[in-house]
Amino acid sequence: MPADVRWVSKHCLLDWLGVTLAGANEPVTRIVFEQVCRTDRADEATLLGFGQRTSALGAALLHGTAAHALDYDDTHWGLQGHPTAPVLGALWGLAERERASGAALLSAFVAGVEVECQLGRWLNPHHYARGFHATGTLGTFGATAAAAHLLGLDETLWLHAFGLAGTQAAGLKSAFGTMAKPLHAGRAAQTGLLSALLAGGGLSAHPSILDADQGFFATHAGPQLTAAESEQQRFAVLDTLFKYHAACHLTHATIDGVVELLTQHGLDPDQLTQLELAVDETCRGVCNIERPETGTQAKFSLKATAALALLGDATADPRTFSDERARSPELVHWLERVHVRFEPMPATRSVLSAQLRDGRVLHTVRDSGMPERDLERQTRRLREKFERLAPLSASTARAVVECVWAIDEQPTQLELLALLARG
């Protein structure tokens, strides 16, 4: 792998560890643990945030779910979903079971991201527009590819693993704002690993599941596919988009735009009479909950996230998105002053117009869809995010960060696991 691919892969790993450890305490993760993992007495993998050991399959389900529980994990516009949660969810426990090297872990991770993002380029926008959550559906193929890579399956077994993945992959956007959304990532991780393990054991499936008659493309992409980008040379992982607000990625441009308006013009929120947001139609079915009743719903509400930003709430802190705050009279007051309209533009863009009491109208445009080109800056921001999120002592958090930066030099991930267990 080129140096920049290796470096961004480590960014993905550090970010995944932070959101997974923080997400371990979320209700959805606790339910998965209590109902599935607690009684799984296998001794293959360590559950991050719990300390208990379980099967690699149980670890994949819990880690994939925990990583997406806060909706704070990375995204990718090629996939139109969250690339790392299902892929590393599948790999983490498997790598421990197999005593795989850090370099092998990174290589398998990149393979998984390449597969799911290439499928995203082919199937989207039709797949996403039809209501499928690509993290759950295409993420299953990414998790399968990653596990197959780490296990060293040959081409024939890869195809059967894909056949098993394609007939099990699932996830609907109608689940957004509920606990089922993070479960999509957990099931994608577990199903991907299961598909690779079963194929490796000789369980056969349709080896052309993607483009077969009544196969995955035909049933999940609509009447046509997007033209394949056959000459693309850039690794997909380089276009990973990291989150610095604990909400749906399509709300981030709005949050940043509100903060920009307030700070650049020295405004107090009370100087605004209303705020108008112009966004793409894509947002209507993703993050347009008008009156959220829970903190989870507020993460998928352009109005709520704009209101939180206006009020100066720390949107980088997952605790901001509480049920109590979502229903607070102060937030509801500002919800009523935020108006959303839809017009064609990139889905990650937001055009903001603030009407002031003195008659002025201020405008700004933000777009959260551009990958960071300054990798040193991204390194600093992700390190700060990890140290803020991970329930570790300051010294342990620093040691974990340094271990992640050197993961490709480690014979296994056991040193990293020991640090994480230290707390």
**What is the 3 state secondary structure string of 224-278?**
CCCCCCCCCCCCHHHHCECCCCCCCHHHHHHHHHHHHHHHHCCCCHHHEEEEEEE
Q: Among the residues of 124-251, which ranges form H helices?
A: 126-129, 134-151, 155-166, 180-200, 216-220
Q: Quick one: pLDDT band at residue 391, thresholds 50, 70, 90?
A: very high
**Spacing of C-alpha 397 from chain mean position:** 22
Verify that 226 and 266 share a domain, yes or no: no
Say whether the peptide bond before residue 125 is cis (omega within 30 degrees of 0): yes
Is 23 inside any structural domain? yes
| pLDDT recorded at residue 242 | 98
**Pick from 30, 169, 23, 138: nearest CA to 75:** 138
Distance CA 149, CA 143 (A): 10
Rounded to a whole number of angstroms, the CA Rg of the chain reads: 21
Read off the pLDDT of residues 296-332 as tens digits, 9 standing for 90 and up: 999 999 999 999 999 999 999 999 999 999 999 999 9
Mean pLDDT of 401-411: 97
With DSSP H G I counted as helix, E B as strand and the rest as coil, what are the percentages for the chain, rounded to 5? Answer: 55, 10, 35
Beta pairing partners, 352:
277, 364
Verify that 139 and 168 share a domain, yes or no: yes
Distance CA 250, CA 279 (A): 9
**Pick from 116, 124, 71, 125: nearest CA to 90:** 116
Output the CA angle 369-373-378, nearest 5 degrees.
Answer: 90
Q: Quick one: pLDDT band at residue 229, thresholds 50, 70, 90?
A: low
Read off the pLDDT of residues 104-126 as tens digits, 9 standing for 90 and up: 999 999 999 999 999 999 999 89
Q: For residue 349, what is the domain's CATH number? A: 3.30.1330.120
Verify that 13 and 92 share a domain, yes or no: yes
Is 376 inside any structural domain? no
Q: Quick one: pLDDT band at residue 228, thresholds 50, 70, 90?
A: low
Verify that 153 and 92 share a domain, yes or no: yes
Of 192-201, 226-235, 325-334, the range with the lowest mean pLDDT is: 226-235
Q: For residue 406, what is the domain's CATH number? A: 1.10.4100.10
Query: What are the tokens at 309?
Result: 């930003």
Verify that 153 and 281 share a domain, yes or no: no
For tokens 């640090």, what's the residue? 419
Q: Quick one: pLDDT band at residue 423, thresholds 50, 70, 90?
A: confident
Verify that 45 and 106 share a domain, yes or no: yes
Verify that 32 and 143 share a domain, yes or no: yes
> 355 lies in which domain range?
249-367
Q: Quick one: pLDDT band at residue 224, thresholds 50, 70, 90?
A: low
Is 372 inside any structural domain? no
CB 299 within 8 A of CB 321: yes
**Spacing of C-alpha 136 from chain mean position:** 11
DSSP 345: S
Verify that 231 and 255 share a domain, yes or no: no
Q: How far does the chain reach from its first CA to its final CA, in angstroms?
A: 32
Judge whether residue 96 has pLDDT over 90.
yes
SS3 269: helix
Distance CA 287, CA 340 (A): 11
Query: What are the tokens at 219?
Result: 């049933």
Is 111 inside any structural domain? yes
| pLDDT recorded at residue 41 | 87
| pLDDT recorded at residue 108 | 98
Read off the pLDDT of residues 132-177 as tens digits, 9 standing for 90 and up: 999 999 999 999 999 999 999 999 999 999 999 999 999 999 999 8
Number of structural domains found in the chain: 2
Average pLDDT, the chain: 95
| pLDDT recorded at residue 232 | 60
| pLDDT recorded at residue 227 | 62
CB 208 within 8 A of CB 159: yes
Verify that 200 and 262 share a domain, yes or no: no
Is 158 inside any structural domain? yes
Could you give phi then psi for residue 255, rounded to 5 degrees? -60, -50
Query: What are the tokens at 414?
Result: 């056991």
Distance CA 197, CA 200 (A): 5
Judge whether residue 404 has pLDDT over 60.
yes
Is 60 inside any structural domain? yes
CB 104 within 8 A of CB 89: no
CB 349 within 8 A of CB 369: yes
More confident residue, 243 or 228: 243
Verify that 38 and 166 share a domain, yes or no: yes
Mean pLDDT of 21-33: 97
Distance CA 343, CA 345 (A): 6
Verify that 46 and 181 share a domain, yes or no: yes
The amino acid occupying position 179 is M
Mean pLDDT of 58-78: 97
Distance CA 108, CA 237 (A): 12
Is 373 inside any structural domain? no
Is 386 inside any structural domain? no
CB 100 within 8 A of CB 412: yes
Verify that 157 and 284 share a domain, yes or no: no
Judge whether residue 223 has pLDDT over 70.
no
Could you give phi then psi for residue 85, rounded to 5 degrees? -55, -50
Q: Quick one: pLDDT band at residue 98, thresholds 50, 70, 90?
A: very high
Q: Quick one: pLDDT band at residue 368, thresholds 50, 70, 90?
A: very high
